[in-house]
Each structure stands twice: as structure tokens, then as C-alpha cells.
Amino acid sequence: MACCSSCWCSSCRAASSPGSARWSPPAGPNGAGKTTAFNAITGYLRPSGGRVTYDGAALTGLRPSAIARRGVVRTFQKTSVFPALSVEDNVLTGLHLRSTAGFFAVLAARRRLAAEERALAAEAAAIIDFVGLGHRRREVASALPYGEQRLVELAVALAARPRVLLLDEPGAGMTGSEKTVVSGLIRRIREQGVTVLLVEHDMRMVMGISDTVIVLNGGRVIAEGAPAAIQAHPEVIRAYLGASAASA
């Protein structure tokens, strides 16, 4: 992925190789521009300048659903599940993004549609098991604890078969043990060849599982590199702790 806008070019370049398994979280204090970058990449915000491209194709101006069909999928800071639907039906909504059955096939309830629905149901079950919610498959999403609702949201994102997965604060509001579960899941997602971009305020979580960390401050990239190098970077220390700490 490449982005020509000066505010987030480095964070976009972190996912520049389709199929590469990298974990590259943009970090930075509140107001740094991290979620704005995600919104621009995924079509929820049109850049005021420059353009967003992925795998040689422009994403700028496309609807979020069209961008998702190209393999660039995101989650949100706040839990976004269908609260009245079961866990299984939530995941099926993501799978139907890839459904091939046409309008007339739906009306006629043809054999092709029935076969596709069976295949989607089996895939939904596999995804739900992957995130550890097999025992919750039939339960209504709103009845689940908060941490498990975040896992439902992750499952819905995985149902779209992302090549690039953007996770906006996946650990927000979670307990330490829940964050450990999410971190483990993200490692397994990466092992499947998916590039992950993460926005997360829990630096212990970020530094523990990242390949590359990109730090934004005021919409500008101030540092990019391995976790250990970022932790000692004077600009990063200044952004988080103030000028006196950086010069100490």
C-alpha cells in the first residue's frame, strides 16, 4: 500500500507488499492522526490531498465496501457488531460480501444458492472457532461480555478475507488476559499471510508483537523502526513524556 499524502505516507507504506505478513502499528498520542489515517485508507474520509493506492490500484474515492472487496478491511475503536443477531449471523454478514449468488438465484432458491449457503455456514463456523467463540455461536451478540463482542467484530472482519487488516484499538477496554488472547489471535492472523496495521494505546501490547512501529504526532510521521529502537527514540519520548524527559 502506498499513500502520497504527507501526513501518513510511512504508515501506508508499511503494508506495501500484498501477501506479506507484517505487523506494523501506527502509534502516537491522542490527536496524532492515527484513526484519521485509517479512515482515509478505508474510504470513510476523503483525503484533502494526495491519493491512497493498494496493489497498484487507487482506493481514493471508493466506497468502504468496495475497498473491503479489494482486501483492505478494518475494525473500529468502538465495538461495531449487529447486537440483535447471533454470533453466527454476524459472521455470515461478512461472508456475504463475497457471495456469488445472483438476484434471480435468490428468488428461485436454486440448488447453487443452497450449496453456497452451506459452504458459507461451514466457513462461518471455522472463523468463529478460530477466534475462540465456538461455544457462543448461537448466542445473541449483545448478550456477550464486552471482550467477546470485540472478538465477534474481529471474526466479521476476517470473514471478508482481508489481505490487509486494520485494527483500531483492538485492546481498548479489555482486561490484561483478554489482551493476551487478542495478541495471540493477531499473531495467528499474521502467520496466515495477512498484513496487519494496528492502532493501539497499550504500548506493552504494541511492543510485544510488532515487526515495525510507526509513530505519528500531529499528523506527521516522527519515527519508524523496530520496537526497541522506537522505545529509545528521542522524538517519541518527547511526544509521550515531554521535552524534559527526552533531554534527561
In this structure, the answer to whether residues 151 and 196 fall within a common structural domain is no
In a domain, 126, yes or no: yes
What's the pLDDT at 156? 94
Q: What average pLDDT is seen over the chain?
A: 79
Q: What is the pLDDT of residues 63-92, one digit of tens each?
A: 998 999 899 999 887 778 889 999 999 999
Domain limit, last residue, from 130, 161, 192: 161
Q: What total number of domains does the chain contain?
A: 2
Domain limit, last residue, from 111, 126, 161: 161
Mean pLDDT is lowest, of 8-12, 28-32, 101-105, 208-212, for 8-12
User: Do residues 227 and 207 touch, judged by C-beta distance below 8 A?
Assistant: yes
In a domain, 78, yes or no: no
The candidate with the shortest Cα–Cα distance to 156, out of 65, 81, 84, 76, is 81
CA 5 to chain centre: 21
Q: What is the pLDDT of residues 170-220, one digit of tens each?
A: 888 889 999 999 999 999 999 999 999 888 878 788 888 888 888 877 777
In this structure, the answer to whether residues 178 and 239 fall within a common structural domain is yes
In this structure, the answer to whether residues 119 and 187 fall within a common structural domain is no
Domain limit, last residue, from 141, 161, 181: 161
User: In which domain, by residue range, is 64 found?
Assistant: 1-71+164-248
In this structure, the answer to whether residues 46 and 88 fall within a common structural domain is no
What's the pLDDT at 13? 40
In this structure, the answer to whether residues 174 and 63 fall within a common structural domain is yes
Read off the pLDDT of each residue in 13-38 and give the average, rounded to a whole number. 54
What's the pLDDT at 109? 56
In a domain, 215, yes or no: yes
Pairing relation of β-strands 26-27 and 72-74?
unpaired
Read off the pLDDT of each residue in 115-139 and give the average, rounded to a whole number. 92
